[in-house]
Amino acid sequence: RFIRDNQDDPFFLYFAHMHVHLPLYAPDRFMKQSDNGRYGAVVECVDWSMDVLMHELQQLGLDDNTLVIFTSDNGSRVNDEGGSNAPLRGTKGTTWEGGMRVPCIIRWPGQIPDNAVCHDVTSAMDFLPTLTRLAGGEVPNDRMIDGHDISNLICNNAGTSPYEALAYYRQNELQAVRVGQWKLHLARKGEEVKELYDLE
């Protein structure tokens, strides 16, 4: 729980970690009703857990004053485990869009307009400076922070992406660079490539 300096209302931010990642564990109840094996059971368990969390926030009267972020790890492995990156190309461990893009749903009643959609490029690295600012704190200035404050994009759908270019690395190899709708692949598996894609 955080109290913001400029408002009397507290700002609630709770972290809950649920994952659909190897190894896959799901309660027997979900295994029995899954049409997509163990992976489907874990996804259904995550859905159920989110419902429980949202219900609890409502019961505690915190629902309207809580920022909820639902996002994912990058890219499915797509190894007959039930996951999919469709319609995007690539899998986890690649710098194709299917290996890098993730869904992100953010809910904060009264602060984020209903049904707002943001198409700007952002990164999970942006959560640190953004949530720090929204909670009334200050990002440390004695070290390099890779993320950017994207609160305007989240709350007002205003402004544009803070990224002039976004670099795609696989370990220490720079494999691609994105600028706007253009993505240039430079390397793959240690080999130089020259491939330009229009992501739109």
Alpha carbon separation from 178 to 27, 125, 160 (Å, rounded): 41, 16, 15
The identity of residue 147, as a single letter, is G
User: Looking at the DSSP assignment, which residues form a beta bridge with residue 197?
Assistant: 183
Distance (Å, whole) CA 127 – CA 69 = 10
How many whole angstroms from its chain centre is CA 114?
Answer: 19
Distance (Å, whole) CA 8 – CA 5 = 8
Alpha helices in the chain (DSSP H): 28-33, 37-59, 97-100, 127-134, 151-155
Going residue by residue through the chain (200 aa), what tens digit of pLDDT does each one get?
444 444 555 555 555 555 656 778 888 999 999 998 888 898 899 899 999 999 999 999 998 889 999 988 888 877 777 788 889 999 888 999 999 998 899 999 989 988 989 888 899 999 999 999 998 899 999 999 999 999 999 998 787 889 999 999 999 999 999 999 999 999 999 999 999 999 99
Distance (Å, whole) CA 63 – CA 177 = 39
User: By C-alpha distance, which of 163, 71, 149, 154 is closest to 117?
Assistant: 154
